[in-house]
Chain A
Amino acid sequence: DTAVSQTPKYLVTQMGNDKSIKCEQNLGHDTMYWYKQDSKKFLKIMFSYNNKELIINETVPNRFSPKSPDKAHLNLHINSLELGDSAVYFCASSRGSGSYNEQFFGPGTRLTVL
């Protein structure tokens, strides 16, 4: 049983295109996150939603727009893709938004912008 799933696993696209990554969790968690992991493996929070409401919005270009249709799903749409957007994007979820809540990560989506 997959706890946190993402699609697609790989995404190769041209500069300037628009693409979406989907994330779903079946853990019944209230909080979901998007992280970006760059080529040096550095993991950085981008967004977090709690019960469909945005609670964390880091300094991310507004070409990135998250959407949470319900608390089990958090999608990431990226407009006008740039070379620097190439990275692995991880979705994660946790039971709640407070401290001490373990975050469960999805398998990641490797985005390559050519």
Chain B
Amino acid sequence: GENVEQHPSTLSVQEGDSAVIKCTYSDSASNYFPWYKQELGKRPQLIIDIRSNVGEKKDQRIAVTLNKTAKHFSLHITETQPEDSAVYFCAASKSNGGYNKLIFGAGTRLAVHP
């Protein structure tokens, strides 16, 4: 069945450093890859997404890259700040009879230390 693996499970960086989170998906028909940020006790919120016809997308300090051949996609956060501390989830979905089902990775807990 569909599966999304996410690494690392925890990541600790110093403020100002970069952070990279990697995901691998199993279903080659997947065509949409969102990333969600969940702060402690809060709801998941979309921070960036990428479609399968694009290799890279950037939004200020956040970028996502997609390698369809290897079925890998990654989140890059540059110049990290303490407010970036949260759990980050990658997800993958595909169109399936007119509906899409998001399959989430297990999450990465990012801690940014001042």
A interface residues (Cβ-Cβ under 8 A, vs B): 31, 40-45, 48, 50, 55-56, 90, 97-108
What residues of chain A lie closer than 8 Å to B43, measured between beta carbons? 90, 105-108
Q: List 25 A-B contacts (CB under 8 A).
A: A41-B106, A41-B109, A43-B44, A43-B107, A44-B104, A45-B103, A48-B101, A55-B98, A56-B99, A90-B44, A97-B98, A98-B98, A98-B99, A98-B100, A99-B94, A100-B32, A100-B49, A100-B100, A102-B46, A102-B49, A103-B46, A103-B102, A104-B46, A105-B43, A108-B43
A60 → chain B closest CB, angstroms: 13
* Pairwise interchain contact A99-B31, C-beta atoms closer than 8 A: yes
Q: Which 6 A-B pairs have the closest CB atoms?
A: A97-B99, A105-B43, A43-B104, A99-B100, A99-B32, A99-B95
When each residue 85-100 of chain B gets 1 if its CB lies under 8 Å from chain A and 0 otherwise, what string results? 0010100011100111
**Separation of A90 and B49 alpha carbons in the complex (Å):** 20
B interface majority secondary structure: strand
Cross-interface CB contact of B34 among A44, A97, A102, A106, cutoff 8 Å: A102
User: Is B68 located at the chain interface by the 8 A CB criterion?
Assistant: no
**Separation of A55 and B51 alpha carbons in the complex (Å):** 23
